[in-house]
Amino acid sequence: MSSAIELKSKVGQLSDIGRYIKPGSFVAIGGGWSCNKPMAIVREIIRQKIGGLKVMSVTGGWEMEWLLAAGLVDHLVFSFLSLEFFGLPANFRLAAERQTVKLTEIEGCSMIKGLEAAKFGLPFAAFRGPKGSDIVAEAKELYQTVRCPFTGQELTAIQAIVPDVAIIHAQKADAAGNVQMIGTSASDLDMAMAAKAVIVTVEEIVSADEIRASKSATKLFRNDVDLVIHCPMGASPCSSVPYYSAHLLQLQKDVAGLNPKTARSYISEVIGDTETAYWANVGGAEAQRKLKAFPATARAVPVPATLDTTPARDFTVGDQMVAALSATIEDEDAIILGSFTPLAYAAYNLAKLTTAPNAFVVGYSGVDARPFQMGFHTSEAACIQESAGLWSMTECIESLHFRGTGDVEAVSSAQMDVNGDINISWLPMPVKDAAGNPTGEWNRRALRLPGGAGAPVVFGLHRKSVAYFPNHSRMVFVPKVNYVTGTRVYLTDEERIAEGLKPGPIIVVTNLCVMESRERGIWNVVSLHKGVTAKDVVDSTGFAVNVPNGCPETRAPTQQEVDLIKRIDPTGIHLLDFISGKERATKLPAILQAEWDGV
């Protein structure tokens, strides 16, 4: 008697997720920012009403907002939760401020190291952790301080993180479960290898021969995968480059619909009983066609043949800030781009096109990216298209941050204080009595902010801590932050060299000036922007700043720089940082609609 010899197939349906995701499961959700999120699985969790979940993501947003809005989360583990240029997630803020779910904030690099510890079968991982951060102080069950047995160096230990299930979205897989990842990748591999079970949605199921023909793209192998689901457009409304861009017009609708007051009815109206029903509600085949067309419209910006230093006669405060931020980049600097922050992206691209052509840029997952044109629908595709290779978020952190070879990753925070400490976690508000009058007390945790992602670590490890603030005010520059998300623990050159770190300053670029700190508590204004006086800066800063007599004027942008900024950012999206929330609410939809209509 004979029987067939065949390989086991791991292909299943979305409806099969309940075999692995149970009520109360600890679910790690892959993808980063608004890229490669396994949104089809998130929708199916909601359809199946799998609740009581503990959920985590390294850089989260849309997936968490949907699950929180659906009331399926009991415990949220996060390092950063934001809807990027759409603002803060309303359901996350409500849950945090009213404490309706358990919250565990873990710094992003710590989260990756905790997953890696589990991946390697270790109880913890030790690294140069987020020293001085309140995040560490408030999660004593996860963090400990240890000393290297060889050098005596003080390190941070993070406990191993072991999810029950990891859910990720990738581009291709074969039926056996070998998975290929092409495009932006967060720490999906770490999640997969740390978790007890792994579910992957993919754009294509391909043959075993095709997998072997492009084996360098295979990142996750069948022995670590439990279920593969063929789910084209399965990351939407997030992106899956090079297949499609994020469905930003739909995300804009989701922001409004997921308002806590309307979320339950909105969810039932939009996601439907199946993915086919979902797509019928969000634009159908025509929307899919447009989303697939966007990556092909991504454009590089060629480097000029020569550098022209002729000053511009006319320039905006945006031009000045982009040029001043660009000037913090030295040739051959290693620069890291995090979430899509148009002002910083414009500055990095400008540096590559002018004074720092040999700077090494890592953005999204693209390594050594050449200058590219920005657009809300196309920046990710352009950055990846113009890159020499791809790194996951973990590979970037380990190759640049932890090795101490990174030079700059510009950050912006809600607050910065005289010590250079940054706050991207909580803002205080005055306590009021029953009649609505201030009591003189302050609620230290009144307004929830997105979290620091990896900033609590990388802000201190980079050679230069560069920060930018389009609104220089006493609300931003405070005497002491109420919550320390991150700090540059070792600041003086001597301290940094003793710790094996590259020496360098904290540099701050604002709409008024450029200032820096090389010694804790001491700030010197390096230059004043055109039309700004020393008094303007002093009056707008909540701590003492030294403005030298005869302080120079910040170098004006050149005409070439002004022209290049327009080529980098033809619709002026970096200028959104300089306008009020009310104005932004009008201009952003118009820009998104124009991009949509133009493809």
DSSP, residue by residue, 316-331: -HHHHHHHHHHTTPPT
**Residue 147 backbone dihedrals phi, psi, to 5 degrees:** -115, 140
pLDDT digits (tens, 9 = 90+) for 263-313: 999 999 999 999 999 999 999 999 999 999 999 999 999 999 999 999 999
pTM: 0.93
Query: Which residue segments constitute the domains of the chain, with CATH numbers given?
Result: 14-290 (3.40.1080.10), 317-575 (3.40.1080.10)
Closest by CA position to 194, among listed 222, 233, 144, 160: 160
Rg value, the chain, Cα: 24
pLDDT band at 562, cuts 50/70/90?
very high
Q: Which amino acid is residue 539, in one-letter code?
A: D
Closest by CA position to 64, among listed 38, 85, 86: 38
Percent pLDDT > 70 in the chain is 100
CA 62, CA 65: separation in Å to the nearest integer? 5
pLDDT digits (tens, 9 = 90+) for 214-243: 999 999 999 999 999 999 999 999 999 999
Q: Are 532 and 513 in contact (CB under 8 A)?
A: yes
CA 397, CA 113: separation in Å to the nearest integer? 10
DSSP state of 10: -
Residue bearing tokens 């997953």: 115
Q: What pLDDT shows up at residue 456?
A: 82
CA 5, CA 301: separation in Å to the nearest integer? 54
Q: What pLDDT shows up at residue 1?
A: 64
pLDDT band at 459, cuts 50/70/90?
confident
pLDDT digits (tens, 9 = 90+) for 151-170: 998 899 999 999 999 999 99
Contacts of 386 (CB under 8 A, 6+ apart): 300, 366, 369, 370, 371, 372
Mean pLDDT of 317-338: 92
H-run or E-run covering 592: helix 581-598
If DSSP codes are grouped into helix, strand and coil, which group holds residue 339? coil
Contacts of 522 (CB under 8 A, 6+ apart): 546
Closest by CA position to 342, among listed 356, 328, 325: 325
Higher pLDDT, 580 or 357: 357
Bridge-partner residues for 390, per DSSP? 366
**Strands across the sheet containing 154-159:** 124-127, 154-159, 143-147
Q: What pLDDT shows up at residue 352?
A: 96
Mean pLDDT of 234-262: 95
Q: Are 29 and 55 in contact (CB under 8 A)?
A: yes
Q: What pLDDT shows up at residue 7?
A: 82
Is residue 350 over pLDDT 90?
yes
CA 445, CA 427: separation in Å to the nearest integer? 6
pLDDT digits (tens, 9 = 90+) for 27-52: 999 998 899 999 999 999 999 999 99
Closest by CA position to 133, among listed 455, 484, 418: 484
Is the N-terminal amide bond of 237 cis, ω within 30° of 0?
Answer: yes
Give the DSSP letter string of 38-101.
-HHHHHHHHHTT--SEEEEESBBSHHHHHHHHTT-EEEEEES-B--GGG-S-HHHHHHHHHT-S
DSSP state of 183: S
How would you classify residue 381: left for phi > 0, otherwise alpha for psi between -120 and 50, otherwise beta? Answer: alpha
pLDDT digits (tens, 9 = 90+) for 380-410: 999 999 999 998 888 888 888 888 888 888 8
Least confident range of 314-328, 331-345, 443-457: 443-457
